[in-house]
Amino acid sequence: MPITLPNDLPAYDILSNEGVMVMSPGRAAQQDIRPIRIGLLNLMPKKIQTENQFARLIGATPLQIDFQLIRMSDHESRNTAADHMQSFYRRFCEVEATGEKFDGLIITGAPIEHLPFEEVTYWDELTRVFDWTQSHVHSTFGVCWGGMAMAWYFNGLRKHTLNDKAFGCYRHDNLAPSSHYLRGFSDDVLVPVSRWTEVRQSDIDTKPGLKTLIASREVGPCLVEDAAHRALYVFNHFEYDSTTLKDEYDRDVAAGKTIAVPVNYYPDDNPALAPTNRWRSHAHLLYGNWINELYQTTWFDMTRIGEPA
């Protein structure tokens, strides 16, 4: 939550430059409070697992969150019970038709990263979602493949196929400690990674509207800010549970697939030992900071979301 300070107090500028959320008394007096409305466009096969992971993170702030579950209109889930989808999810076409607006939208990853974007069966509708966010969502958070898809659509940022899967927990550098999204972050961060593709910093450097906030020397950019489209792209998985990488590893071993032990995940790299979660606190910080930024910058009158602030 922000701290209210006189804007002529030296600490106001000092803390602001350090990335601390500060607010002048005049702005604080004008604040109205309402629930923050966040949608989850869930593209993952295991819908319940994914919705739990994100709900756990966005529900950890003192603010009231109105959490809405959204699905692609014509893509039927084969891994989640139909009654769950019917009871808790709305098709995007239904959301679009109402004209309703959101403070935030999370677009998840999807296990289709080997496909060219345009060959994804729901690509046309997904690009409609991307365009819709520019007038109906204050800030969009694209995760893993979802972030790569947004970066490609809005910026022409290519995804590149890796020779070997990036799989495990990798150290990342905090490149923008004064960013509002990285308040409280350490200088380096451990982040779970599970992907066969990557976005390269050399490509990001050709796009002046993009800024890399977190990156790894081993697996490249992790968190990228796209201010022009009011979006964040995170290519790795802060939201993962303690055993998510283990579940992926065990699944592939059971299927007889060639799979390396996740890097820096199990104690002593021994899959017989229980993994230790060393990213949970930064996961809560990242999504808590994002929600705090929504609270500070979105319109109280939701009909005005999409207008310049």
Q: With beta carbons less than 8 A apart as the criterion, state whether 60 and 42 touch.
A: no
- Quickly tell me which residue has 């019917």 as its tokens: 86
> What's the helix, strand, coil split of the chain in %, to 5?
35, 25, 40
Q: How many Cβ atoms from other residues are within 10 Å of residue 119's Cβ? A: 9
Q: Is 144 a catalytic residue?
A: yes
Give CA–CA dist 41/125, Å, rounded: 12
Of these residues, 144, 172, 198, 293, which one is catalytic?
A: 144
Taking the CA atoms of 211, 215, 217 and 218 in sequence, report the sign of the dihedral they define. negative
Cross-strand pairs, 223: 214, 234
Q: Is 125 a catalytic residue?
A: no
Q: Is 237 a catalytic residue?
A: yes
Counting Cβ atoms within 10 Å, is residue 106 exposed (0-12), middle (13-18) or buried (19+)?
Answer: buried
Of these residues, 136, 138, 229, 237, which one is catalytic?
A: 237
**How many CA atoms lie less than 13 Å away from 112 in the CB half-sphere?**
18
Those residues with Cβ within 8 angstroms of residue 231's Cβ, 6 or more apart along the chain or in another chain: 133, 139, 140, 141, 142, 150, 154, 225
Alpha carbon distances (Å) from 121 to 73, 181, 257:
11, 33, 26
> Three-class SS of residue 111?
coil
Of these residues, 51, 239, 282, 293, which one is catalytic?
A: 239
Question: Known catalytic residues?
Answer: 144, 237, 239
